[in-house]
Amino acid sequence: MSAFWYYVFTLVFFLFDYFILAMGLNIQYGETGILNFAYIGFVAIGAYVTGAASLPNSAGTGQQYIMGWGLPFPFNLLLGGLVASAVAVLVALIALRRLRTDYLAMVLVSLSLVLYDVINNYVPLFNGADGLYNVPQPMAGIFHLTTNSFIPFFAVVTGLVALLMWFIMSRIMNSPLGRTFRAIRDDDGVAGALGKNPFGYKLTSMIIGAFYAGVGGGLIIQFGGSFNPTAWLPGETFVVFAVIIVGGVGNNVGMLVGALLVETLLIHLPAFLPEIPGHPGLIEYIDTMVVGVLLMVMLWFRPQGVVPERVRKSAGMLADRARGRGRQLTTASEGQGKSGE
């Protein structure tokens, strides 16, 4: 396979993976209003757990890690998502019960720094600062994949996973549960006065979002075969925030557009561009700056994002019933596309 296609499928992989990550952060922040500045920590947990579960027993591998069960795809991925969700429960119990949004954000930043330090310094957990490597390529044996053919194969697998997770997320967002999330986002005091327990719903939202984060992370470690501290610097959380803000908070199609614009075009594409002569590594810094500038421009001129949250019209609610079973897919593709306003 030519280097060109290798690049293209790498970009496709990151497009779909960040689509998943963006949907997870969107349900937390865009739908429920939880400013989760620790999001990348849940991505990392998913990555490490998926990796450590798929690796063989650590004895003789030159690495130290827990688990080492040789767990196959997709069970390793599912486990990564579930463990991330379990950690979200703990975080929610600590941080989400009483704190106001701004304090909560600070506590979450602190928690993600603590998590970062623990994982990167406590070697027996996930091999410390070296991180995990030599993670087996999923299904490579079954489909006789080579190092080259694995890249497009796994980009497609990620696309299918993203499609499934989009279906599930649309269903949640278009349900009464999604509506109650948005009520809490708009005014959790009012939601409480209407009999909704804000903490309970925020907890649910954290669990769902963390599962998406964990799965997205699990896909990353399986795609590249390794994962280490440089992959989840705490600032990475803001790249995912940039994806959802640019794309359009509250809209799944916006998540895909945001992933394309921010993650694929701005973060990953420049890595394949030729270096600026005499300034090695400069491009990488420039792209981070470009993301920052784009974020500011968007917040200034189009805070609702490229694809804004759609208005859920009563006619749609009435028509949905008539269409019966096919309703979720139709609302997802047709309804989400409408830009509202």
Partner 1 sequence: MSDNVTPTTGAPVYALQCQDLKKAFQGVLAVAGATFDVPQGQITALIGPNGAGKTTVVNLLSGMMPSDSGRMQLVGTDVTNWPSHKIARRGLMRSFQLSRELGGLTVLENLLVAPKHQAGESLFNIFFRPLAVRREERENVERALETLKTYGLYDLRDNRARELSGGQKKLLEIARAVMAQPKVLLLDEPMAGVNPALIDRIGEYILDLKASGVTVLMVEHNLNVVEKICDHVIVLAEGRTLATGKLSDLRANQDVVQAYLGEVINASTHG
- Judged by the rule CB under 8 A, the positions of this chain that interact with partner 1 are 168, 171-172, 175-177, 179-180, 182-183, 185-187, 189-198, 201, 204, 208, 250, 309, 311-315, 317-318, 321
Cβ nearer to partner 1, comparing 13 with 29: 29
Strand partners, 227: 132
Q: Name the one residue in this structure whose structure tokens are 């917040």.
A: 299
Q: Is 276 helix (H, G, I), strand (E, B) or coil?
A: strand
Kindly state the smallest distance separating residue 197's Cβ from partner 1, in Å: 5
Task: Give the nearest distance from C-beta 207 to partner 1 in angstroms.
Answer: 9
Judged by beta carbon, residue 94 or residue 317, the one nearer partner 1 is 317
| Residue 84 Cβ vs partner 1, minimum distance, rounded to whole Å | 16
Question: Taking a C-beta distance cutoff of 8 angstroms, is the pair 100, 35 a contact?
Answer: no
Tokens read off for 114:
């603590």
Give the integer Cα–Cα distance in Å for 191 and 189: 5
The conformation of residue 58, written as its DSSP 8-state character, comes to S
> In the complex, what is the shortest distance from the CB of residue 203 to partner 1, in angstroms, rounded to a whole number?
11
By beta-carbon proximity to partner 1, the closer residue of 75 and 167 is 167
The continuous run of DSSP H or E covering 195 comes out as none
Q: Is the distance from CB of 185 to CB of 44 less than 8 angstroms?
A: no
Q: Which is nearer to partner 1, 115 or 306 (CB)?
A: 306
Let me know how many helices (H) and strands (E) the chain has, helices first: 14, 0
Q: What is the dihedral of CA 221, 92, 79, 127, to 10 degrees?
A: 50
* CB-nearer residue toward partner 1: 198 or 258: 198
Any idea what the Cα angle at residue 317 is, between residues 315 and 321, rounded to 5°?
110
